[in-house]
Amino acid sequence: MSPEKLAYMANQIGRFFATQARGDAVDGIADHLAKFWDPRMRRTLLAHLDDPAIALDPPVRAAAQRLRDSQPA
């Protein structure tokens, strides 16, 4: 799956959590991506997180960054 398609899907998840406080939304998005996304989908999204062409809404980007930062080195 393309990084652009994954970003679109991640932003859809983010819209679900948009009514929550920012911290709660970031937690919910990160939790959803960790629990329900296939590891390959997560790896692809996280590998392209710094690509400016990948348009992620701010809470989604924060959640993805949190997931990337929590991965073992």
Q: Look at residue 73 and tell me whether its pLDDT is greater than 80.
A: no
Q: So what's the pLDDT on residue 72?
A: 80
- pLDDT, tens only, 32-63: 999 999 999 999 999 999 999 999 999 999 99
Report the distance separating Cα 54 and Cα 72, nearest Å: 23
Write down the domain spans for the chain: 3-70
What is the residue type of 41? M
Structure confidence by residue, pLDDT tens digits, 9-40: 999 999 999 999 989 999 999 999 999 999 99
pTM over 0.85: yes
The pLDDT value recorded for residue 71 is: 87
Length of the chain: 73
